[in-house]
Amino acid sequence: MLHRKLFFTLPFTLLLLLLALPALSTADDGIENLRQTSKAFASVARQVSPSVVFIQVESTREGVVLMPFQSPFGDDLFKRFFGDDFPGFSHPQQPQKPQGKQRAVSQGSGFVFASKKGLSSETTYILTNSHVVEGADKINVKFQDGREFDAEIKGVDPKSDIAVIEIKASDLPVTPLGDSSQLEVGEWVIALGNPFGLSHTLTVGVVSAKGRTGLGINDYEDFIQTDAAINPGNSGGPLLNLDGEVVGINTAIFSRSGGYMGVGFAIPVNLAKGIANQLIATGEVIRGYMGIVIQQLTQELADSFGLEDTKGILIAQVSEDSPAAKAGLKTGDLIVEYQGKAVTDVGNFRNRVALTAPGSKATLTIIRNGKRRNVDIKIGDLSDGKLLAQETTQSTEALGLTVQTLTSDLAQQFDVEPGKGVVVTEVKSGSIATMAGIRRGTVILQVDSKAVNSAAEFKQAIKKSSDDKRVMLLISDRGMSRFLVLKW
């Protein structure tokens, strides 16, 4: 009887084991995949960290008090371990230093971009953000191996927030550059930098979105959005793909607390390297210029022009004696292609034109009166003080609204006086603008007591108020004017 039971029990046990093997194998494969991903991150860190630098900037600024010590984690954490008498703590009851011109120290990140050999020396160029080195009296850069160098500014471009600094050194590894146009949403990316002064910190995330424009951070925007943790001090550091190639420059965060909230922005390397090369060659950036005012094509405008979809951007104005006027472009033309590539976004188009060398010829594909045609244009020089392509629409995340320059058509649509103020065309649900009673069709006449008569003027005025996180608006709604103070 015992033998008979074993005869039936053993095959059944073997069957259970065989059925369990695939599950065990799948679990092992999953762990191995995670292990390989982890090793890929570590490989990128080993490869790139030697060319990432910690940047310390000394400057003289109005109204800045330099404290002898400030913990990046806040005083409360240090008090918990060291008590109230830990050196360097600021006590509220102590008198503060008088305001005025004070020495300030700020921090950021950067990476080796290029090098140039001379007869007796070699110059190494480091790419970073313009706001990192703005107003610098002294710049010090420190590498992972402990080497430190004094740096000089080679060139800055505040409009794109790109800067190049140089050091006299050789044998420093140059960071490989990738192609940011090949990035896809959902792709792994790695941020390297020095958040809060913590040297050579690596964080990992994905590409959350591409082509972010209209944020009001820079004049020329085409941001990569990522959830890789970016914090103060990361500015200027590289955003990398899994091949260890730079695909962006970490620049800004969206945060209500000043710290990481899962939304960071990086300048695409394809945009940055063109500007950096100009800064290295000449110390300045010369941008292309057409002389047109453009706006995003909405569904309402598309319907008005008899268009089937909203692909392309609309020419709202052509400046006299501009390259656009000489090429025969007209108000109402719809630009659908530039140099053979589709045009879908105002900000991206502005960047592409700006990076086109002045004096060169470009081809626009437009739709006029329902007919598609090509127009050749000779790109002008924006340094002449003319407009490249002023956006007639601006959005602000802080307030949660979108405004548009008041054209005669919009003035008629919203029954307001043309030429005075900007009209609100969109209000985000739950935003501070909504709670303040601002609605679609509200006209904003002033920002902080300064008249705004175009979307560009509105953008600049709001940008100046961003540090205080407070703005006073004079609005007109249904013929009644009133002042509003918005805080965020």
300-353 confidence digits (pLDDT tens): 777 767 777 778 888 877 877 889 999 999 888 889 999 999 988 888 888 889
Q: Count the neighbouring beta carbons within 10 Å of the beta carbon of residue 158.
A: 14
Residue in the structure block whose two tokens are 């407009």: 387
Q: Which H or E run contains 170?
A: none
Query: Confidence band (pLDDT; 50, 70, 90) for 408?
Result: low
Sign of the CA dihedral with 409 first, then 414, 420, and 423 last: negative
Q: Count the neighbouring beta carbons within 10 Å of the beta carbon of residue 410.
A: 18
Of 81-90, 140-149, 275-284, least confident by mean pLDDT is 81-90
Of all residues in the chain, the percent with pLDDT exceeding 70 is 80
Of 189-203, 434-448, 469-483, least confident by mean pLDDT is 469-483
pLDDT at 413 (0 to 100)? 66
pLDDT at 86 (0 to 100)? 39
Q: Count the neighbouring beta carbons within 10 Å of the beta carbon of residue 312.
A: 22
Residues of the chain with CATH 2.30.42.10: 288-390, 392-487
Of all residues in the chain, the percent with pLDDT exceeding 90 is 30
What are the angstrom distances between the C-alpha of 155 and each of 128, 152, 162, 314, 394?
11, 9, 9, 34, 29
Does residue 14 carry a pLDDT above 70?
no
- Give the helix ranges, DSSP H, for 49-103: 75-82
Domain 31-63+100-285 fold is Thrombin, subunit H (2.40.10)
Do strands 389-391 and 292-296 pair parallel, antiparallel, or not at all (unpaired)? parallel
Does residue 249 carry a pLDDT above 90?
yes
Distance between CA atoms of 364 and 150, rounded to whole angstroms?
46
pLDDT at 18 (0 to 100)? 58
pTM of this structure: 0.65
Average pLDDT on 65-77 reads 41
Q: What is the mean pLDDT of the chain?
A: 80
> Which segment, 8-12, 389-393, 461-465, is predicted with the most confidence on average?
461-465
pLDDT at 73 (0 to 100)? 41
Does residue 386 carry a pLDDT above 50?
no
pLDDT at 6 (0 to 100)? 43
Task: Enter the CATH code of domain 392-487.
Answer: 2.30.42.10
- Positions annotated as catalytic residues are 131, 161, 235
Residues of the chain with CATH 2.40.10.120: 31-63+100-285
Average pLDDT on 198-202 reads 84
Domain 288-390 fold is Pdz3 Domain (2.30.42)
Average pLDDT on 269-275 reads 92
Q: Which H or E run contains 328?
A: none
Of 65-74, 390-399, 463-472, least confident by mean pLDDT is 65-74
Whether the CB-CB separation of 268 and 180 falls below 8 Å is answered with yes
Average pLDDT on 35-52 reads 87
Residue in the structure block whose two tokens are 């000089």: 152
Average pLDDT on 362-389 reads 80
